[in-house]
Chains A and B, each alone.
Chain A
Amino acid sequence: MRLYAKLEGQNPSGSIKDRIAKAMLDAAEASGELQPGRRLLEPTSGNTGIALALAARLRGYPLTCVLPANVTSERRRLLELYGAEIVESPGAEGSNGAVRLAIELAERDPSFFMPFQYANDANPRAHYEGTGAEIAAALDRVDVLVAGVGTGGTLMGAGERLRESFPDVLVAAAEPLPGDEVMGLRSLDDGYVPPILDVSKLDRKLLVPNTEAVSGLRLLLEREGVFGGVSSGAVVHAALRLADELDDGVIVCVLADGGWKYLSADFWDATDVDTAMGRSVWW
């Protein structure tokens, strides 16, 4: 078995979201939806907001990010440093709350342009043309692609591109198991499935508890010297689980960000990782 890791934390603002931030703004400018002086608005648990904040800053667009109240301080600080305005959504509602509030704000004020990564085709397209194409160019064989599922963009876009080069590739999602504290929805109808995510195009979808994600994160750091974020640890955990099912093969893990934005978190020394992490949104 060979495991490869694509280190997306090396991107300009520190995560894979730099790809979709640029792609969504490029597409909106090309279509005329986004013109000079228009304000941007986006729901985010951090990385997309940060990536958009960088791109928006360079292009001259004011940006407002709707962010769950319980994300790490590094995410908030980076947004502020890039000049984004932050509107908090209830931490207990997780990213669903940020989506809900952003949609409300956008409907109330049409001067906002919301790229809306959850439903924007530029998101998976960026991964088709970028992430997936780069993997296909780099490797002669890919049996499994593992990535975290958030919006679904990486899996949909890179998965589609890899299937063109490697028709039998297994496209596998690693998904966070949220703590009770961030599932405070009024009803299941408050749930949210990103429009760009087509679960029928996934071969596997594995739930990864926080404890296992942190174990994966430590493994990456201690064995490979790779400092990944929480979702990277989850992806590695899922990859190793799938590796156990195969006799041989090539598994590509997409590691969405580095560990830098999690340094303030208290799970590093926690004896009960699930309790330490249960109150927050991590990826």
Chain B
Amino acid sequence: MAAVRIPPTLRAEVGGQRELEAHGSTVGEVIDDLVERFPPLGSQLLEDGQLAPFVNVYVGGEDVRTRDGLQTPVADGDQLILLPAMAGGS
């Protein structure tokens, strides 16, 4: 099981929870597990089978877009963090 931190923007879709547990050995499988349990998340997190452009996913504190995307491995006990894309420091 992985722990998934949910950003404020999506908490309404998951009953207000800040952190959820989810099954999966890849980021894609974890997202699929979440979407199966909370269907409104699907259109927020995925677009044409890929990560939606304005959401970032991190495993072990690293953006999965610079690893293997949805194929990035997830081990038991890993923490995933979902974040909205933010205009950065400037």
Contact = CB atoms under 8 A, between A and B. Distances in A.
A94 B86 contact: yes
B50 interface: no
Q: Which of A94, A118, A188 has the most CB of B within 10 A?
A: A188
A277 to B, nearest CB: 13
A282 interface: yes
A178 B62 contact: no
A231 B61 CA distance: 16
A86 interface: no
Interface in A80-125: 94-96, 98-99, 117-118
B65 interface: yes
A190 B8 CA distance: 13
A96 B8 CA distance: 15
Contacts of B44: 187-188
Contact of B86 (A95, A117, A202): A95
A235 B85 CA distance: 19
Nearest to B64: A205
A183 B7 contact: yes
Contacts of A117: 90
A256 B61 CA distance: 22
Contacts of A184: 8
Contacts of B65: 199-200, 205
A193 B54 contact: yes
A204 to B, nearest CB: 5
A47 to B, nearest CB: 7
Interface in B24-76: 44, 52-55, 58, 61-63, 65-66
Interface residues of B, number: 24
Contacts of B58: 207
A17 B66 contact: no
B84 A191 contact: yes
Interface in A194-238: 194, 199-200, 202-208, 231
Contact of B62 (A46, A190, A206, A283): A206
Interface in A230-249: 231
Interface stretch (A53-61, A145-153, A159-167, A265-273): A145-153
Q: Which of B61, B65, B90 has the most CB of A within 10 A?
A: B90
Contacts of B63: 173, 175, 199, 205-207
A263 interface: no
Given A191-B54, A199-B63, A205-B62, A176 B84 contact: no
A99 B89 CA distance: 12
A177 B61 CA distance: 9
A150 B87 CA distance: 7
B1 interface: no
A95 B84 CA distance: 12
A207 B66 contact: no
Interface of A: 17, 43-48, 94-96, 98-99, 117-118, 148-152, 173, 175-178, 180, 183-194, 199-200, 202-208, 231, 256, 281-283
Q: Which 6 A-B pairs have the closest CB atoms?
A: A191-B54, A283-B89, A150-B88, A150-B89, A191-B85, A205-B63
12 contacts: A46-B90, A47-B89, A48-B90, A95-B87, A150-B89, A175-B88, A176-B89, A183-B8, A185-B9, A188-B44, A190-B54, A199-B65
